[in-house]
Each structure stands twice: as structure tokens, then as C-alpha cells.
Amino acid sequence: MTIRIRQLQKVYRVGTERVHALRGIDLDIAKNEFVAIMGASGSGKSTLMNILGCLDRPTAGVYELAGKPTHRMNATQLAQVRNQEIGFVFQSFELLNRQTALDNVTLPLIYSSKRWWGVRKRAKEALDRVGLGDRVHHRPMQLSGGQRQRVAIARALVNSPSILLADEPTGNLDSKTSEEIIALFKQLHAEGQTIVIVTHEEDIAGHAKRIVRLRDGRILSDSPTHEDVMHQDYLRRAAVTAVSVAKRELGDADVMASVSASVSASVAEVKP
């Protein structure tokens, strides 16, 4: 098991108040899974991701990553595990704006590598892998939003992490660019990468193989995407909307007839 979590809790202290962000999470994630974490704002998604990514520690409970008990580690050990095992992608890309794409991707290697030899080559390969081989000398401002997120994904991948974590990776992107980024995640998953993403969008979550839903710091449901009741309900509603739009536009009660009419109509339209 890549990830093993038992009764995980996180309590934030703000002045004299305590915020129970996670209230006892049990979660196992195996190698090469592709998981989407969903839930309302404030349900604990980012808190969970930050712990998964060893950016923060739980207040109580067990978190083993690749067999290592991270909940018992001090900050230095945690940083080491983070460097070796984790690739993290954020909603806001978090790139260094004065550095080129290549420099941004090289950075984690400089922190982790004992050997300098081959570092640039590995960074270039990571950029090739995300389809940015021809943009290595561009700075973030000279790239589109989707390309910036690709640089961030290349940076997350460059150390060959056991797990790729992405907290709302498409949150700042338009829907077409979001589809491109999710297609890249699917490609990485097909190549064997374990992936966990947080998203608010059912469309995006639909590409993952499993959906974990949080509510008030607890797991509400955890099921394969094709068995997730809320997701299936969303797909049904989307289909009904598509059909009613087709009906309205064509003014025909027989849906099959309207669909075929709409196809012949568009074929007729493209003919000169």
C-alpha cells in the first residue's frame, strides 16, 4: 500500500479556539490508483492533502507513506520524505516568476540530488513528458495558464515521486485548458503514476477511477467512480439537460428523431 491512514485527526488552534478540520479519517491508496477527493468548501480537503504531502502533520492518528510512519517524524525527516516520495501541484502553480521553465523544474533536483551531473537533462525530460519541450527557456509570464500548470506538473514529477498530489489543479483554468490538464493526468496514470487530486468539478472527478467525498472532516463516501451515487446522478442530470436542449432547439418530442434530425441538419449545413 502506498498510503495507509488510520483515525487521522487535525485540530488547528486559532487563539483560544480549536478547529477540528479532520475528525478521524481511514484511507488506503494503492500504487497506480487515480483518486479524486471532493467535498464542500471547508470540509478538510486541503488539510488532508497537506498531510498526505508531508507539508503538515496530523494532530493524531497514523499516516504511513510507502511503509514509512510519517506521523512519528520530525520536520527534517518529513522534508526528506517529501523530497523523495511526493510531487505536489497547486491551484496557483507556485512557480518562480524570474526563472525559466527549465530552472523551475531543476530546482527540486538541486535540493535532493547528490550528483549535479545529469540534472538539467532530467529536468528537460520532465518538460518533454508534459509536452513543453519547446518552451524550456520561457519564464512563467511568457506561458499560458495551462502551460504554467504543465511546468508545475513537470516540477512535481522530476524526482519520480511515488505519489502525485494536486490540490484543485484546474481551479484557475478555463474549461478547455482544464480538459487538457486532466488528459495529461490520465496519460501519467496510464504510465503508472499514482495520483490524488482535489476538485470541485464533477466533470474533472469523472476522469478519476475512485471518488472520496469529505464532509465536516469525515469521509462521507469512498467508491469507484462508476458506483459513486452523486457522480452518477450528476451524469444523469447532465444527460437530461443535453436532451432537453436538443428538444427545445428542434421542437420535436421524439428524442431519437431530433438527434438524427440534428445530425442531418449539421451535415446539410457544412455542405457547400
Ligand X SMILES: Nc1ncnc2c1ncn2[C@@H]1O[C@H](COP(=O)(O)OP(=O)(O)OP(=O)(O)O)[C@@H](O)[C@H]1O
- By CB under 5 A, is residue 46 in contact with Mg ion? yes
90 within 8 A of 109, measured Cβ to Cβ:
no
* Stretch 24-63: interaction string toward ligand X, x if CB under 6 A: ---------------x-xxxxxxx----------------
Backbone angles phi, psi at 13, to 5 degrees: -105, 125
Please name which of 209, 201, 112 lies closest in space to residue 155, comparing C-alpha atoms. 112
For ligand X, the closer of residues 35 and 127 by Cβ is 35
Query: Total number of residues binding ligand X (CB under 6 A)?
Result: 12
Task: Output the CA–CA distances (angstroms, integers) from residue 94 to 88, 90, 122, in the order listed.
Answer: 10, 7, 20
What does 42 interact with, of Mg ion, ligand X, none (CB < 5 to 8 A by kind)?
Answer: ligand X
Q: What is the DSSP letter of 187?
A: H
The one segment of 31-39, 44-52, 133-141, 257-265 that binds Mg ion by CB under 5 A: 44-52
Residue number, 45 or 148, with CB nearest to Mg ion: 45
Q: Of 11 and 246, which CB lies nearer to ligand X in the complex structure? A: 11
Judged by beta carbon, residue 143 or residue 164, the one nearer ligand X is 164
228: nearest Cα among 212, 240, 207, 243: 212
Least distance between ligand X and beta carbon 213 (Å): 11
Q: How far apart are CA 264 and CA 250, in angstroms?
A: 12
Sheet holding 34-39, edge to edge: 86-89, 163-167, 194-198, 34-39, 210-215, 218-224
Q: Which residues bind ligand X (CB under 6 A)?
A: 12, 14, 19, 21, 39, 41-47
Q: Which residues bind Mg ion (CB under 5 A)?
A: 45-46
